[in-house]
């Protein structure tokens, strides 16, 4: 009987885990390798997308798209770069129809100054245009307005080099400041930055992949381990980032009243995409040729949707699709929550079971936008879909009439769940703990607000679920481009290492 019980338990756990991909909230670190095809093409893999009103630049909104998951700082001699054969886009939907009205597009080209050396840099890089910067990348940023003009905002800009180490980059902050682009277009000041940054996302992927473990709740798991604080799996890793800051009036529907939080013309939807040529040819001389029209290969708006909501059979299709197609292609996956069905399985007797079907609360968060006054939350409004109620679609929605609540990086990490209406899921700030917020959302903390006659699932431990990682491994900058400078290859160390005593002297040398 004991053997039969253990075999049955093992099969039960295996089935639960297979169904959920190991409770993949946060798995693959938001969009780190979230679909089979894109996991083989990291240069165009969306990592995360952010959009927030900017506290230190009143009247502006900042957009961030990050790429290249788990970018190891010790990546020499061929450090990471954007792919010049691809196009990288930040898309904005003004009217809720799931179709982009504005695109900010980045395109790249490479230059090797001295092909006779293996070196990325031939000496210290004391300026962004230093002659020692050998493997260079240039980029152009274009604004494309549907039915309107196409404007080149910044042409042929030299991208900041990688943070190789203290000998190669004696003052990386100086290079970063030189890499901030500022231009005036139609009276609007636009700021832009492109290049390597510390990965701003924070999550305990290592525990989550181990049969859906949350270290602080290990004693509640079906297979118990000692409780422990979370470990940030992205600590010490970098990403490539596109950051652009524009006046709010440039991206909202004309007539938006920023003094009226119920004005739906002030709400926009945002997502990032990457595109490749349809045909790639590997030539016998070691070169690659790309031809044909551009095809979308990566897409990310709301964090964790492709990981948690979309099933394996359609993950690659999601990356190739556009938001207006979401109802037809993926609508069944939003209203029926696979994750909600598995939480009480992996945490028996702890997590209060929530409905699995007809999850209108999750539909609002991921696909329509929250109607905050209807939820009893005063002072905010996030329902873009009032303008187009038949087009639910996966986008980050932000009501730009809601003012910033704190300096960049210092808002309440639980956003709207903690009464901070400028936080996720009203946009997404760098400091927003989207893993904890979405864990709790799936566990039903919003359910009664959308379904008033239903039981209240905003109870312990559903409203306390956490992976135990509450903040980024580096402090964010207080000014543009806000993301912390990238880890360098010389001092790079990951969190599971720096938690040991043996690493203390190394950390002191690194300035931690």
Tens of pLDDT, residue by residue over 379-403, are 666 666 555 556 788 899 999 999 9
Say if 221 falls within a structural domain.
Answer: yes
Q: With respect to residue 7, please indicate whether it lies within any of the assigned structural domains.
A: yes
Query: For 263-266, which contacts have Cβ atoms below 8 Å and span 24 or more sequence positions?
Result: 263/381, 263/401, 264/96, 264/381, 264/383, 264/384, 264/386, 264/387, 266/399, 266/400, 266/401
Q: What's the per-residue H, E or C state across 145-171?
A: ECCCCEEEEEEEEECCCCCCCCCCCCC
- Name 477's Cβ contacts closer than 8 Å, sequence gap at least 6: 408, 409, 483, 484, 485
Answer whether residue 504 is part of any domain: no
* CB of 180 closer than 8 Å to CB of 193: yes
Domain count, the chain: 1
What residues contact residue 425 under an 8 Å CB cut-off, 6+ apart? 302, 365, 370, 382, 396, 397, 415, 416, 437
State the Cα–Cα distance between residues 142 and 151, nearest whole angstrom.
Answer: 6
Give the pLDDT confidence score for residue 360 in this predicted structure. 85
The answer to the question of residue 467 being in a domain is yes
Helix (H, G, I), strand (E, B) or coil at 369: coil
Alpha-carbon span 495 to 489, nearest angstrom: 15
- Residue 257 inside a domain? The answer is yes
The position carrying tokens 């703990």 is: 433
pLDDT at residue 452, rounded to an integer: 83
| Domain span holding position 432 | 2-478
Residue 501 lies in a domain: no
- pLDDT recorded at residue 199: 96
Domain contains 220: yes
Output the six-digit token pair for 376: 């009893």
Q: What's the maximum distance between 2 C-alpha atoms anywhere in the chain?
A: 78
Angle at 434 between CA 431 and CA 439, to 5 degrees: 145
pTM score: 0.89
Can you list the residues of the chain whose pLDDT is less than 50?
1-31, 497-507, 509-512
Residue 371's alpha-carbon distances to 324, 363, 376, 400, in angstroms, are 20, 12, 9, 14
299: helix, coil or strand? strand
**Structural domain contains residue 497:** no
For residue 316, the model assigns a pLDDT of: 83
What's the token pair of residue 415? 């956003």
Backbone angles phi and psi of 90, in degrees to 5: -110, 120
CA distance 12 to 427: 38
């Amino acid at each position: 009987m004991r053997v039969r019980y253990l075999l049955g338990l093992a099969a039960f756990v295996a089935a639960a885990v297979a169904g959920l991909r190991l409770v993949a909230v946060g798995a693959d670190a938001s969009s780190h390798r979230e679909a089979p095809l894109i996991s083989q093409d990291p240069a165009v893999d969306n990592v995360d997308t952010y959009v927030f009103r900017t506290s230190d630049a009143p009247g502006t909104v900042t957009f961030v798209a990050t790429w290249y998951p788990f970018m190891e700082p010790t990546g020499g001699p061929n450090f990471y770069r954007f792919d010049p054969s691809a196009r990288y886009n930040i898309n904005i939907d003004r009217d809720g129809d799931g179709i982009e009205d504005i695109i900010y597009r980045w395109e790249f080209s490479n230059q090797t100054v001295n092909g006779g050396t293996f070196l990325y840099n031939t000496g210290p890089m004391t300026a962004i245009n230093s002659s020692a910067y050998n493997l260079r990348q240039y980029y152009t940023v274009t604004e494309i307005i549907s039915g309107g003009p196409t404007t080149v905002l910044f042409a042929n800009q030299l991208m900041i080099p990688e943070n190789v180490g203290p000998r190669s980059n004696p003052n990386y902050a100086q290079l970063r400041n030189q890499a901030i682009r500022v231009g005036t277009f139609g009276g609007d000041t636009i700021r832009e930055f492109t290049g390597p940054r510390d990965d701003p996302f924070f999550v305990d992927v290592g525990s989550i992949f181990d049969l859906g473990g949350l270290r602080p709740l290990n004693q509640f798991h079906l297979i118990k381990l000692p409780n422990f604080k979370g470990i940030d799996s992205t600590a010490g890793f970098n990403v490539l980032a596109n950051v652009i800051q524009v006046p709010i009036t440039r991206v909202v529907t004309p007539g938006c009243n920023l003094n009226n939080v119920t004005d739906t013309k002030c709400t926009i939807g945002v997502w990032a995409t990457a595109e490749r040529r349809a045909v790639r040819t590997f030539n016998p001389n070691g070169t690659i040729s790309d031809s044909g029209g551009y095809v979308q290969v990566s897409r990310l708006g709301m964090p964790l949707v492709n990981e948690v909501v979309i099933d394996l059979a359609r993950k690659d299709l999601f990356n190739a699709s556009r938001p207006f197609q979401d109802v037809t292609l993926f609508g069944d996956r939003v209203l029926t929550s696979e994750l909600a069905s598995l939480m009480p399985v992996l945490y028996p007797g702890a997590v209060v079971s929530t409905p699995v079907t007809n999850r209108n609360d999750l539909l609002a968060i991921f696909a329509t936008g929250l109607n905050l006054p209807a939820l009893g939350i005063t002072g905010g409004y996030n329902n873009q879909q009032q303008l187009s109620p038949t087009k639910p679609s996966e986008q980050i929605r932000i009501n730009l009439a809601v003012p910033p609540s704190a300096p960049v990086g210092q808002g309440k990490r639980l956003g709207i769940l903690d009464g901070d209406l400028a936080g996720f899921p009203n946009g997404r700030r760098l400091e927003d703990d989207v893993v904890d917020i979405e864990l709790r959302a799936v566990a039903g903390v919003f359910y009664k607000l959308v379904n008033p006659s239903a039981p209240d699932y905003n109870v312990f431990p559903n409203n306390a679920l956490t992976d135990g990682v509450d903040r980024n491994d580096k402090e964010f900058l207080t000014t543009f481009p806000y993301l912390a400078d990238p880890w360098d290859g010389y001092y790079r160390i990951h969190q599971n290492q720096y938690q040991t005593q043996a690493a203390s002297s190394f950390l002191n040398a690194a300035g931690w």
